[in-house]
Amino acid sequence: MDAAVLRAAGRSLVRGSTYLRWVYLLLGAALVLAFILIDSALLATVQEIGLPQPLEIALALAVIALPPVALGLLPAVREVEGVAVESLLGVRFDERPLGPARNWSQRRRSAAWFLIHLLTGGIVGFTTTIGIPLGVILIAAPFRTPGDHELVPGIPYHVSGGWSDIWLPVVGVLCCVLPLVLAFVVGALLVRWAPAVLGPTATERIELLERRTTALVERNRLARELHDTVGHALSLVTLQAGAARKVLDTDPEFARTALAAMEESARSALIDLDHVLGLLRDDRASTLPQLTLGDVPRLVEATRAGGITVEVDAVDGLDAVPAVVSREAYRIVQEGLTNAVRHAGLEPAELTVGLLIRTEPGSLRLELTNPVGSARRTRAGGGGRGLAGIRERVAVLRGSVDAGATDGTWRLAVALPTGLDPKQRKDQL
């Protein structure tokens, strides 16, 4: 067991982490020295006042304890200690970087850690201040003139000039090594204590996890929005460009209309792309420009500009649909039209998309239908990322979705709860 301890101590001397821990503890020792200097001046003032002894003792204790406690309660101490602990002790906290204390619970724990840092740093600093100079003196002792000498004033030692002095450099080496071994042991304890004392509590870790989850959900939502808007725009641009190329000589007016629609689709896609990239770059939670069911006519016209026939059957009064439902419904219609353009397997002139929008008691019903070519029928049971995005949107609103190809017709049917009662529906119609 003793041999194992000695081997562990020896290995600790060649580890870089030992010296980093030593530096961290010496920083605490430097702070202790600063407080000692301040306390010395304050205690001298207290003694000069001439207070009764019990009051003088109480005031002296307050002078010694209050400055480090008050400093430890500062919000920035948690951040500074966090940086030092991560860089010098190698601790990794769940919250990175460890920010300033945001509440009194964090302040108290930061103050407790600050006091631990001062106490352990003071011990290691004292050992270093005494041990290393003493070790150097003992290592050099055999080379001194034989006779009586003093390690420090009042502590004599004798140099005989022979092998009997061999114990002096041995003890000297141990004195030099002791601060490093102590720094390694104390540092190991601090590494174990730091996450519990300085890091977030279990409740704070849950809150941190919730914030991270919210951020990931927001980023996923932005990615879905970007997929829907830019993907739809690119699909339309491709379709409109193909239609314009085919009729450029025979129907210049239609070609001009298609080119204008391409310009509008590309401009809208660039605006949405720039908006999302700005949000991701700045790490801010926001939304894309909010489009609702009231913008469906413009979406339909842009699709028709590519030569596709879109038959719309929609009720009036859709502005009464709750805003969140209306926004998601627009995106679902947009993605449904995009899927029809991309995956129907038909030429634009052959493609007719039916769009049904109905309000029912407590729900909004959307239905898109279109014929599919033979290439699409072979994978009727599949679905790309667009259909998965639709299912995600519907699931968030606790609605239902049914999609699939039957007898050469692709059908996407979605029901979204709105909370509208039959009386509200009657007022709409």
List the 409-417 sheet strands across, edge first.
Answer: 309-314, 352-360, 363-371, 409-417, 400-406
Q: What pLDDT score was predicted for residue 4? A: 66
Which residues are within 8 A (CB) of 249 and not within 5 positions of it... i.e. 6 or more apart? Answer: none
Q: What is the pLDDT of residues 69-128, one digit of tens each?
A: 999 999 999 999 999 999 999 998 877 778 898 889 899 999 999 999 999 999 999 999
Higher pLDDT, 33 or 257: 33
Give the DSSP letter of residue 85.
I
Q: What pLDDT score was predicted for residue 22? A: 94
Is residue 280 scored above 70 in pLDDT? no
pLDDT category of residue 366 using cuts at 50, 70 and 90: very high
Closest CA to 408 of 365, 388, 378, 363: 378
Least confident of 179-193, 207-221, 362-376, 400-414: 207-221
Q: What percent of the chain clears pLDDT 90, i.e. is strictly above it?
A: 27
Residue 420, phi then psi, degrees to nearest 5: -75, 130
When mean pLDDT is compared over 316-320, 357-361, 419-423, the highest value belongs to 357-361
pLDDT category of residue 427 using cuts at 50, 70 and 90: very low
Is residue 294 scored above 70 in pLDDT? yes
Tell me which residue has tokens 């926004």.
327
Is residue 352 scored above 60 in pLDDT? yes
pLDDT category of residue 355 using cuts at 50, 70 and 90: very high
Higher pLDDT, 115 or 341: 115
pTM: 0.55
Cα angle for residues 213, 217, 218 (degrees, 5° grid): 115
CB atoms within 10 A of CB 397: 19
Least confident of 49-63, 148-162, 389-403, 404-418: 148-162
Measured CA to CA, the distance from residue 289 to residue 228 in angstroms comes to: 13
| HSE-up (13 A, CA, CB side) for residue 135 | 17
Q: What percent of the chain clears pLDDT 70, i.e. is strictly above it?
A: 83
Q: In the predicted model, what is the mean pLDDT of the chain?
A: 80
Q: What is the pLDDT of residues 29-78, one digit of tens each?
A: 999 999 998 888 887 777 777 778 788 788 888 888 888 999 999 999 99
Closest CA to 114 of 194, 9, 212, 213: 194
Q: What pLDDT score was predicted for residue 73? A: 93
Q: What pLDDT score was predicted for residue 323? A: 86
**pLDDT average, residue stretch 384-406:** 84
| Structural domains for the chain | 2-200 (no CATH), 208-428 (3.30.565.10)
* Residue 46 host element (H or E): helix 16-49
